[in-house]
Chains A and B, each alone.
Chain A
Amino acid sequence: MIVAKTGNEAMAYAMKQCRPDVVAAYPITPSTEIVQIFSSFVADGLVDTEYVPVESEHSAMSACIGAAASGARAMTATASQGLALMHEMLFIAAGLRLPIVMCVASRSLSSPLNIHCDHSDSVASRDSGWIQIFCESSQEGYDSVIQAVKIAERAYLPVIVAIDGFILSHCMERLEILSDEEVSDFLGEFKPNYSLLDTKNPITVGPACLPDSYFEHKRAEAEGIRQAKGIIEEVIEEYRKRFHRYYPVIDEYQAEDAEVVVLAMGSTVGTAKIAVDELRAQGKKVGALKLRFFRPLFSEKLVASLRKFKVVGILDRAEAMNSYISPLATEIRAALYHQTEKPLIVSYVYGLGGREITQEDIKVVFEELIHIKETQKVKDEVSYIGVR
């Protein structure tokens, strides 16, 4: 069915179709509508979910952890300071290997206070052990929530599905939605390995782990998220076969014969594709890459894709505060380190706090990248797009 929905409406609708047993949430701009709409689904009896209106995001994640440990399908939504307030509990959810799915409407972090889009919130949760999906459109946000539930429950890991705050969360789009039955058939019932409520088989969840075994648990957790790559690709493929919608982990646009490309996450990829079209019309060999998963980082695929280009501009919607270069660029440079043939990696920070990025801005970046290709010299380690 084709409908018109905002990103937040799309996420809430996808959550409803995934039929979570428990949703515990606290509203925060720009994700407020996700839980607001979802709570109205509960109130109207359209979904049989236990909705827990908590007093903070820390409690929202705590309640999701309790619910997931008891074998429930648990979901929440948040953004920015809310995600930051969950920070402590994010590690616990991942360490306990609980398949919680969280919708995030990406937003900057205070201070100074700003409610608009950037990726600082999710990027700051980078090492928490959560899988992180960044979506280019509300359609991808909708489809990703459904995929995320299946990925989480197969990999036994929590998943963040991020749409860009306001840019997608409040913008109405044409959306193709599946029927409730199609989503139910795709996901099936969640059958947890263990449950706190199974009194015949009591378990201990969250035991103390002293120096003699904590390290081993973290090593196993790291392996879990590494192994999730295979599960992710299986789920994406199943979704493509069933519903004919395909979102590869790395989406190459006009990249086949490109020499110079930009790589980005989220809605900016769409803007970059338009810039690519305009420059291609002028005969320039440029392309765009979309990285869909920030965690796990598909480093082997990234290397295989990036090796063939001369210069790659990494567009980061977050600042790493004097890391050598911006967050995503750091990771991609590290992934390429052992390659003998590799592109020059140029780091760009853009769009903090909702600063607009246009195809004109990206065309300027492409001009710089083409100049770098000709001179083989990167002047600034980090450049800032559109800052005065």
Chain B
Amino acid sequence: MSKLVSWQELPCGAIITDTKRVLENKTGAWRSFRPVWNKEKCINCLTCWIYCPDAAIILKDGKHQGINYEYCKGCGICAEVCPKKVQAITMVKEEK
């Protein structure tokens, strides 16, 4: 979380010029279910990457590398769109 500032220090109209700042806003704590990715089952179709409403599917050289839990909100879309014959992603209850 970035430093909180007073009203005098804010940009006019809440315009954000430092667009990388959104990375500081970790939203993974919202999750109540976590997707668990099975590397052995994954066929690398990247449907989950396309459908993820955030950018929580980690991709490297066009290959699925796992899930970024700092931003994943546990919506379950990735598990839902993972092909029925593959089922490489399962949702498990988040436990403290």
Contact = CB atoms under 8 A, between A and B. Distances in A.
Contact of A202 (B5, B8, B19): B19
Contact of A220 (B4, B8, B19, B22): B8
Interface residues of B, number: 14
Contacts of B4: 212-213
Contacts of A4: none
B15 interface: yes
A96 B17 CA distance: 14
A219 B9 CA distance: 11
Contact of A216 (B6, B13, B15): B6
Nearest to B6: A216
5 tightest A-B CB contacts, nearest first = A97-B13, A204-B16, A219-B7, A216-B7, A96-B13
A207 B15 CA distance: 8
A207 B5 CA distance: 16
Nearest to B22: A204
A206 B14 contact: yes
B7 A220 contact: yes
B22 A193 contact: no
A205 interface: yes
Contacts, number: 49
A217 B10 contact: yes
Contacts of B15: 96, 193-194, 203-205
A324 B6 CA distance: 36
A321 interface: no
| Contact count band on A | 20 to 34
Contacts of A213: 4-5, 10
A212 B14 CA distance: 14
Nearest to B12: A97
Interface in B1-35: 4-8, 10, 12-17, 19, 22
8 contacts: A95-B13, A97-B12, A193-B12, A205-B13, A205-B15, A209-B14, A213-B4, A220-B8
A53 to B, nearest CB: 27
A213 B16 CA distance: 13
Contact of B19 (A156, A204, A212): A204
Contacts of B13: 95-98, 156, 205
A223 interface: yes
B10 A220 contact: yes
Contacts of A96: 13-15
A204 B13 CA distance: 11
A209 B13 CA distance: 12
B36 to A, nearest CB: 29
B7 A223 contact: yes
Given A216-B7, A219-B7, A224 B12 contact: yes
Nearest to B17: A203
Nearest to B10: A220
